[in-house]
Chain A
Amino acid sequence: MKKIWLLAILFCRLSADAQELYVFSEPASNMPANSVGIRQQLRRVEAAPNFDGGTRSSTEIMYGANKNWMLHAAFTFSDMYSAYFRVESFRVYGKYRFFSHDDLYRHLRMAAFGEISYSRNPQMYDEISLEGDLSGVQTGIIVTQLLHKLAISATGSYVNSLRPIQNDMHSRPISQDAFSYSFSAGYLLFPMRYTSYNQTNVNLYCELLGQNALLSKVQYTDLAPAIQFIFNSQTKLNIGYRYQLSNTMHRMGRQGWLLSMEWLFLKKPK
Chain B
Amino acid sequence: MKKIWIIILVVCLSYSAKAQIMAAKLQASGLTCAMCSKAVFNALSAVPYVEKIQPDIQGSIYQISFKQNMPIDPDLLSRAVTDAGFSVAKLQLTGTFPETTIGKDSHVTLFNQVYHFVNVPSQVLKGTKTITLLDKSFVLPKEHKKFAQYTTMTCYSTGTRQSCCPQTGGSQSSRVYHVTL
* Residues of chain A whose beta carbon lies under 8 Å from any beta carbon of chain B: 16-19, 21, 29-35, 66-67, 100, 102-107, 146, 148-149, 188, 193-197, 199, 201, 230, 233-234, 264, 266-270
Contact = CB atoms under 8 A, between A and B. Distances in A.
Nearest to B29: A102
A266 B38 contact: yes
A107 B89 CA distance: 12
Contact of A66 (B55, B83, B86): B83
A269 B42 contact: yes
A194 to B, nearest CB: 4
Contacts of A106: 30, 32
Contacts of B57: 194-197
B36 A18 contact: yes
B45 A104 contact: no
Grouping DSSP codes into helix (H, G, I), strand (E, B) and loop, the A interface class, with mixed when no group exceeds half, is loop
A67 B87 CA distance: 11
Contact of A269 (B37, B46, B140): B46
Contacts of A201: 33-35
Interface string B68-92: 0000000000000011111101000
Interface of B: 27, 29-39, 41-43, 45-46, 55, 57-58, 60, 82-87, 89, 140
A197 B34 contact: yes
B39 A32 contact: yes
Nearest to B83: A33
B32 A17 contact: yes
A104 B60 contact: yes
Contacts of B38: 197, 233-234, 266
Contacts of B37: 194, 197, 233
Closest 4 CB pairs of A and B: A102-B30, A269-B45, A18-B33, A194-B57
Contacts of A193: 58
B83 to A, nearest CB: 4
Contacts of A270: 45-46
B31 to A, nearest CB: 6
B35 A264 contact: yes
A195 B46 CA distance: 22
A196 B34 CA distance: 8
Given A103-B140, A195-B57, A233 B32 contact: no
17 contacts: A17-B31, A19-B32, A31-B85, A33-B83, A33-B84, A102-B140, A105-B29, A105-B32, A107-B30, A107-B86, A146-B31, A194-B37, A196-B34, A197-B37, A233-B37, A234-B38, A267-B43
